Structure 1
Amino acid sequence: MSSDPIHVFDRRLVRHRRDRAAATIGQVAPVLEEAAERLLDRLDDITRRFGRALDLGGRGVVAPRLRARGIPFVVSMDLSPRMATAAGGLPLAGDEEALPFAPESFDLIVASLSLHWVNDLPGALVQIRRVLRPDGLFLASLPGFGTLQELREALAGAETALRGGLSPRVSPFPELVDLAGLLQRAGFALPVADAETLPIRYRSPLALLRDLRAAGETNAAVARDGRTPPRALLPMALAALPADAEGIPATLRLLTMTGWAPHESQSRPARPGSANARLADALGVEEGRLGERAGR
């Protein structure tokens, strides 16, 4: 495996698992649909109309919703050819890190729960910005730090007890504090990043593992342990998962990114010193000199 610091995921393995999951993705449709609805609800507050949209990794739940909102041209691109074929738009197999489109090809790009498997997220955002038309919109959601924390802690505790150490068994996730800065660095205007929690409950620990496999979301980290795990690892970890009367929690912390391709019609911050009214007048206080104590 490469020692490149941005080579976090085995992309060939990600593609293989998404190919396999194309036949089982319906098992997790309720979660994918809820995440897509929460993301696309942002379009309902926008008066701008879109004509050409790119669905990145929507797994069959994004493209139909874009068309239902009156967008006539939707391309569904996925790392997996099988997943792209069933996604609901014009199918295209491609890599998010090397988008095969001319500049300014789309006025809307949506990535619902797909960019967390990208090795070079800053580079992918630059690619996305490049293929957006001026005043085009980018919407994305991805699982953030804290997602599957219950499973991560249970596996870490079991492996530490059995082997005296631990290895990555749940993929790393980004943190909210980084996302707005990444959007700005990629050249997006009006960047916004926010977070919300989507609570999910399972009747049994095995149901959680089955859903992760059905969605193609099992561990593909380069640093994963290739050895056969101890036989007792999974039973011990699953027994340690917290449970209550409602079932076993599996937290999905959704991070959302919103950014626009720059356009002259967009609002911009005023230049320093360009104000035509004093802050002191607006606050109804007496203006003092720099460093002077209030009330003197």
Structure 2
Amino acid sequence: MNMWFLGTGAGRPSKYRNVTAVALQLPEPTCSLLLFDAGEATQHQLMRTSLKLNKIEYIFITHLHGDHIYGLPGLLSSRSFDGGITPVQLFGPVGIRSYIETTFAISATQLDYELIIHELTGNEGVVFEDNRFKVEVAPLEHRVTCFGYRVTEQDQPGKLLVHKLKEYGIEAGPLYGALKRGQSVTSPSGLLIHTDDVTGPTYIGRVITVLGDTKPCDNAITLAKDADLLVHEATFAAGMEEKAHEFGHCTTAEAAETAVKANAKRLVMTHFSGRYSNEDLVQLEEEAGVHFSPVTAATDFLHIEIKRATHIE
């Protein structure tokens, strides 16, 4: 899995960074993209990476403030021109359907693929699940309805152990495929072989939490519990808690404290106020580092590989 930060600013674009968008790239063979928010010019930011617009299959909107959605209609439209024909599932607060449908109606925009819109009611729980991953959502505390998302990769079966297969006289072919699918097979000698007999340990699925704008709250901790990567807003520097809370935001120290309480493995802070230059990020990172490590203050186009956790013995 790979995480790309396409925009790390708050409120409006600045000369240092674009507004919010984060892309999570799933493993091979699909390499599908999960996009979290789409601030203005997100599609332009994508063009400056190796990511492909037509690989976006899931979009998760945290809330309906402009710096998180103004780039969405153009991105969805351009996906058709970029060869996107597979369906896209869009999740977001109530109102996201009206925003998209009204914009498309006024601009006479038509898509060459199916757009499936899910409006979230605010109830916690699983909103999507397939054989690759599941997504849980919970409301956060901001000035408008806002959500955080927890993506959990499904556990993956271990690799086939070739030396074990040879011991049972099983050669490469259809029986390999059956065992990979979890099916039991009969060896040439008539012995019933189960998948567990010839595979290595199961790999634990990775957990990635992406929070929208929020003040410190319990749901942020719940969503980030034991996450391999926590993406948390840090709009203001430590010591500016009163101002941060007035606008429904967190400071660097509060983002770090959430990571500590959640027992997250890694913290990446984003959504920085325009008052901070890229040079200021060193200080912001150090503020959070007093409470939690490892922590990174994200810059636009930061790319992070999220490695697999230790496998189940």
Q: TM-score, normalised by structure 2?
A: 0.33
Q: TM-score, normalised by structure 1?
A: 0.34
Which structure features the higher share of strand residues?
2
Looking at CA atoms only, which structure, 1 or 2, has the larger radius of gyration? 1
Which structure features the higher share of helix residues?
1
Structure of higher RCO (CA pairs closer than 8 Å, 6+ residues apart): 1
